[in-house]
Amino acid sequence: MNRLLDELRGPVPPRAHDARAIAALAANPGCARRAVLDAAGVDKDGTARHLGFPAPFGQSQFAITRGNAFEALVKENGCAELLRLLRELLGLPVAQVGYQDVENVGSHLRASHTRALIDRAVRDRDDSAVFYDHPLLGLEIAGHTSYLEPDVLAFQLGGRFHIVEIKSFAVIDGQAEPEKVAAAARQSAVYVLALRALLEDLGHAPERVSHDVVLVCPENFANRPVATLVDVRRQLAVLRRQLARMTRVDRLLEGLPPGLTFSLAPDAEGVPTRSAGELAEALSQVPARYAPDCLSTCDLCMFCRDEARSCGSTDLLGRQVRDRLGGVAGMSEALGLAEGTVEPAEDQEEIAGVLRLANRLREECLA
Ligand code: SF4
C-alpha cells in the first residue's frame, strides 16, 4: 500500500497528517478524495493553488509568527509558566515538575520514544508530575497510521494524563470566540483518542487520559497566558463514530486506475511541472462528497464546489437535503420530479411525492 501512496503523491515529501486534518476528515467521512489525498500525504493547499482554486482560509504569516511566539513563551524554562497555570487549574500540589523534550531524540525515533516514556510514567508512578514536550503519537485512520504532535502532554500526580493545547486566539473578559474554541476542542479530541489508543496498546487503562483538555490562550490582548479546562467528551464520541464509518484506504486504492498520480513535482523555478488541467483530470478519478461544511475545513473546497456546481449535484444543498433526496443525485432531476416532468423510478416514488407536495405548496405561497 505504501508504494501506491508514494506513486499518488509523486516525488515530493509527504505532508504530515495533523489533528486539524483528522478532525476535518472525520467531519466528512464519506469523501474518498480527501481520504486518499491525506493518506498519500498530498499537499492539498498546493494542489488547490495550482488548480486555480485556493482555499478562502488559512493563517496569515503574522498569525503564524504570533502563535509560535506565544507557544515559546508558555514553554520557556522547561514549561515554568505552564506549571504555574496547571498548579492553579488542576490543584497540582508540587512545586517542581519534570520536563522531557521528546524532540531531542531525533524525528525518526520520536514516536517510539514517546511510547516508552508514557509506558514508564504509568508503571513507575511516583508522586511527581512531568511535561512531555514535542511528543509524537500514532493514530490509525482508515487502516493507515498517521502521526500527530500535541503541543504538550502533562502527566500529573494521581496518574492522569492531560493534553495541553496552546492557541494564540485571545480570551477577552473570560470569553473566547466560540468557533475557535470548538475547533480547538475537535483537534484536542484527536490527541486524546490517540493517547488513549497508545495506553490501550501498552496494556494500561485508556481512561488515564482525561477528557478535560487544558486550553492555554493569551488573556485580554496581552501575552499573559490563561488556562481553561475544556471537556471534549462530545467531540470524542463524534470522532469515534465518524472514524468507524470511514472506508479503509486500501479498499479505496483498489478502485483507482493504474498510474494515477497527483504529483506536484516542481521544475527549476519551483513551479509544478504538471498542467492544472491534467491535475484536475487526475482528481476527478477519485469521487468526492462535497458539502457546504467543506468551505471551512478542506483546502480543496473551491475546486470541489465548482465541480459539484458544473454537474448540478445535490451535494451543494448540504448534507441534510442530500440525504433526504437519497437516490436523486442531480438538481435538474429533483426539479423534474417536483414539477412532474420526470417520471420517478420505482425507488423514487416516495421522494417524488414529497417533492411534488413541496412544489405545490411553493406555488400556492407564490400565488
Ligand atoms: S472539499 Fe472536496 S476533497 Fe475536501 S472534503 Fe470536501 S469534497 Fe472532499
> Residue 125's pLDDT is what?
65
**Would you say residue 300 has pLDDT above 90?**
yes
Gap from CA of 330 to ligand 1 centroid (Å): 18
Protein residue with least CA distance to atom 3, ligand 1 = 34
Q: Are the C-beta atoms of residues 211 and 231 closer than 8 Å to each other?
A: yes
Gap from CA of 335 to ligand 1 centroid (Å): 25
**Would you say residue 342 has pLDDT above 70?**
yes
> Residue 157's pLDDT is what?
64
> Residue 28's pLDDT is what?
80
Q: Which numbered atom of ligand 1 lies nearest the CA of 300?
A: 1
Protein residue with least CA distance to atom 7, ligand 1 = 290
What are the grid coordinates assigned to 147, written together? 502521526
Gap from CA of 306 to ligand 1 centroid (Å): 11
Gap from CA of 192 to ligand 1 centroid (Å): 25
Gap from CA of 46 to ligand 1 centroid (Å): 15
Which protein residues touch ligand 1 with a CB less than 6 Å away? 28, 31, 33-34, 288-290, 294, 298, 300-301, 304
* 227-239 pLDDT per residue, tens: 999 999 999 998 8
Q: What is the mean pLDDT of residues 64-87?
A: 87
Which of 59-63, 180-184, 292-296 is least confident? 59-63
Q: Which numbered atom of ligand 1 lies nearest the CA of 34?
A: 3
> Residue 179's pLDDT is what?
84
Q: Which numbered atom of ligand 1 lies nearest the CA of 289?
A: 7
**Would you say residue 344 has pLDDT above 70?**
yes
Q: What is the mean pLDDT of residues 89-105?
A: 75
Pairing of strands 144-148, 137-141: antiparallel
Q: What's the pTM?
A: 0.75
**Would you say residue 105 has pLDDT above 80?**
no
Protein residue with least CA distance to atom 2, ligand 1 = 304
> Residue 110's pLDDT is what?
86
Protein residue with least CA distance to atom 4, ligand 1 = 298
* 301-335 pLDDT per residue, tens: 999 999 999 988 888 888 788 888 877 878 889 99
| Residue with grid cell 425507488, as numbered in its chain | 347
Q: What is the DSSP string of 246-301?
A: SPPHHHHHHTSPTT------B-TTS-BSS-HHHHHHHHTTS-----TTHHHH-TTH
Which of 61-65, 285-289, 292-296 is least confident? 61-65
Q: Which numbered atom of ligand 1 lies nearest the CA of 290?
A: 7
> Residue 196's pLDDT is what?
95
* 120-176 pLDDT per residue, tens: 888 876 666 788 888 999 888 767 788 888 888 877 767 789 999 999 899 988 888
Gap from CA of 252 to ligand 1 centroid (Å): 15
> Residue 150's pLDDT is what?
87
Protein residue with least CA distance to atom 1, ligand 1 = 301
* 9-41 pLDDT per residue, tens: 999 888 877 788 888 777 787 889 998 998 888
Gap from CA of 26 to ligand 1 centroid (Å): 11
Q: Which of 20, 22, 33 to mutate to test the pocket of ligand 1 (most atoms within 8 A of CB)?
A: 33
Q: What is the mean pLDDT of residues 84-94?
A: 79
Return the amino acid letter for 269.
Answer: E
Name, in order, each residue with C-beta under 8 angstroms of 128's C-beta and a sequence gap of 6 or more. 94, 97, 98, 157
For residue 359, name the pLDDT band (cuts at 50, 70, 90).
very high
* Number of Cβ within a 10 Å radius of residue 334: 22
Sign of CA dihedral 107, 105, 138, 2: positive
Strand order in the sheet with 98-101: 98-101, 130-133, 152-156, 160-166, 212-218, 225-231
Gap from CA of 262 to ligand 1 centroid (Å): 15
Which of 28-32, 45-49, 210-214, 309-313 is least confident? 28-32
Q: Which numbered atom of ligand 1 lies nearest the CA of 28?
A: 5
Q: Which of 290, 302, 303, 309 to mutate to test the pocket of ligand 1 (most atoms within 8 A of CB)?
A: 290
3-class DSSP state of 89:
helix
Q: Which numbered atom of ligand 1 lies nearest the CA of 25?
A: 5
Q: What percent of the chain has pLDDT over 90?
A: 36
Mean pLDDT, the chain, rounded, equals 87
What are the grid coordinates assigned to 140, written together? 490509525
**Would you say residue 48 has pLDDT above 80?**
yes
Q: Which of 8, 31, 37, 44 to mutate to test the pocket of ligand 1 (most atoms within 8 A of CB)?
A: 31
**Would you say residue 254 has pLDDT above 70?**
yes
For residue 260, name the pLDDT band (cuts at 50, 70, 90).
very high
Q: Which numbered atom of ligand 1 lies nearest the CA of 33?
A: 3
**Would you say residue 189 has pLDDT above 90?**
yes
Gap from CA of 193 to ligand 1 centroid (Å): 24
